Chain A
C-alpha cells in the first residue's frame, strides 16, 4: 500500500523559506506518469493545489503561487520536496503531499499533512 509522509519545519519566520519533504513508501516516485503534488489547507478553510512534479522533473505550479514555489524530486531517496520563499502569515496552513494517476488531475493517495505556522 502506497504511503506518503510529510516532514519539515513547523514554524517559519515571515519572509523566510518554507521547506517540506514528502517521503514515499510502498511505491516509487519513479513510477510511470504519476504526478507528485503539494496541496495546502489554511486552518478552518478549504483546499488549494500548489503544484506537481513528474519523474522526468517536469513541474507545473498554481499560477497564483508560481513565483514563490519550487518542487523537486529525489529518485534515489524516493521523496519529493516543496520550497516556498518569502512566506507570510497567509501561508500558514496544513500542507499535504498527494499522488495523482497518469493523465488525471485528481488525488488518490495523500499524506497525513503537516502544519506549518508562519510567525515571528
Chain B
C-alpha cells in the first residue's frame, strides 16, 4: 500500500497566521491527492482535490500544491472556524485508497 505521512501531527497558530501542512506519499501519486477538514464529531469535508483544485464553496484562504510524492495544504490567515483535523488522501492506487494520519490545527 502507498503510505501517506502527514507533518506535523499537530500545529498551534494564532488567528491570522499562515499554516502549512505537508503530506508525503511513499511513492509517486502524480496529482491524485485530496485534502479533507474534519471538525470534532462531524464527517470529513472535502477541501481540495487533484492536489490543487478548490472544492466548490471552500474559502479561498485554503490552497493546495504539489505533485509526485510531496504535497502541501496552506491556510492563509487562520480563522477560529478552521480549528479541525486535516487529512490527506491518495486516489492514485486504486483499490488501495489510503489516508494520512491527520494534522490537528489549534488556536494559540
Query: Within the assembled complex, what's the spacing in Å between the Cα atoms of A71 and B106?
Result: 37
The stretch of B14-22, B75-83, B96-104 that contacts the partner chain = B96-104
Interface size bucket, A side? 20 to 34
In the complex, which residues of chain A have a beta carbon less than 8 angstroms from the beta carbon of B87? Answer: 46-47
Q: How many residues of B contact A (CB 8 A)?
A: 22
B59 near A: Cβ within 8 Å? no
Is there contact, CB below 8 Å, between A60 and B95? yes
B46 near A: Cβ within 8 Å? yes
Is there contact, CB below 8 Å, between B34 and A112? no
In the complex, which residues of chain A have a beta carbon less than 8 angstroms from the beta carbon of B102? Answer: 46
The residue of chain A having its C-beta at the shortest distance from the C-beta of B89 within the complex is A106
Q: Which of A31-66 contact B (CB under 8 A)?
A: 46-49, 51, 60-63
Is there contact, CB below 8 Å, between A113 and B46? no
A-contact bits for B11-48, CB 8 A (1 contact / 0 none): 00000000000000000000010101000001111100
The residue of chain B having its C-beta at the shortest distance from the C-beta of A97 within the complex is B43
Query: Within the assembled complex, what's the spacing in Å between the Cα atoms of A49 and B43?
Result: 14
The residue of chain B having its C-beta at the shortest distance from the C-beta of A51 within the complex is B95
B-contact bits for A55-92, CB 8 A (1 contact / 0 none): 00000111100000000000000000000000000000
Is there contact, CB below 8 Å, between A112 and B42? yes
The residue of chain A having its C-beta at the shortest distance from the C-beta of B45 within the complex is A110
In the complex, which residues of chain A have a beta carbon less than 8 angstroms from the beta carbon of B45? Answer: 110
Query: Within the assembled complex, what's the spacing in Å between the Cα atoms of A62 and B93?
Result: 11
Binding site for B on A (CB under 8 A): 46-49, 51, 60-63, 96, 98, 104-108, 110-113
Binding site for A on B (CB under 8 A): 32, 34, 36, 42-46, 49, 55, 87, 89, 91, 94-102
Apart from A60-B94, A110-B44: 10 A-B pairs, beta carbons within 8 A: A46-B100, A46-B101, A49-B97, A49-B98, A51-B95, A62-B95, A63-B95, A63-B96, A106-B46, A110-B45
